[in-house]
Chains A and B, each alone.
Chain A
């Protein structure tokens, strides 16, 4: 599962 960190933006 992709760990969707809260920082998904560049």
Chain B
């Protein structure tokens, strides 16, 4: 464990807690894409299949449970909570996320480190995580009004993967034979997808104006 990875995990944890806090306190999911949340639940479900078989550390198991629990409860809130669901804008959140799931599954079947069910599922979760934010970014472009919590949520989500890239660089130089091209490339693609959001986020923060994404 290194500081970059720990900071990345804490940033990732903060992003889901910000989202849960928003939904739980103001009972609203305005501006949040259910599609992205469903994709994230699928990412965690397919990545943490080894939850009960491989014990790595208490920290690892605990964080997996938190991420699984939070992502599924966010999906539950937006889908079924009688108050929260009313603020879900399904007419705007129309990204056909099946168009993301299938290509990621096919790619995972073609490009993976080992052709076993667990490994293909793990690779699928990596590819899917890289593109899972797209419905959310599309929704932000459409609705234009980004409230602070949603902006913070997306920012933290992007920052966590950027910290993970530093972690991979650190591990590459400190651990012999630590090479995971698939992880590195999908993590890089994921971070690049946030690049323009980061740009506008910093612009709005620097000029102290409300965050607006260009149409």
Contacts and interface: CB of A to CB of B under 8 A. Distances in A.
Interface string B37-52: 0000000000000100
A10 B60 contact: yes
B5 A5 contact: no
Interface size class of B (residues with CB under 8 A): 10 to 19
Contacts, number: 25
Interface in A1-10: 2-10
A6 to B, nearest CB: 8
Q: Dominant SS at the B interface? A: helix
Nearest to A3: B54
User: Which of the listed residues A3, A4, A5, A10 has the most CB atoms from chain B within 10 Å of its own CB?
Assistant: A10
B97 interface: no
B122 interface: yes
A10 B167 CA distance: 12
A5 to B, nearest CB: 5
B118 to A, nearest CB: 9
B106 to A, nearest CB: 21
Contact of A7 (B12, B50, B167): B50
A2 B55 CA distance: 7
A2 B122 CA distance: 20
B55 A10 contact: no
A8 B12 CA distance: 16
Given A2-B55, A2-B56, A5-B56, A10 B12 contact: yes
A10 to B, nearest CB: 5
A5 B52 CA distance: 13
B27 interface: no
Complex A-B, nearest 8 residue pairs according to Cβ-Cβ distance, in ascending order: A5-B54, A3-B54, A8-B56, A10-B63, A10-B9, A7-B122, A5-B50, A2-B55
Given A6-B113, A7-B122, A10-B60, 8 more contacts: A2-B55, A2-B57, A3-B55, A6-B180, A7-B50, A9-B164, A10-B9, A10-B63
Interface of A: 2-10
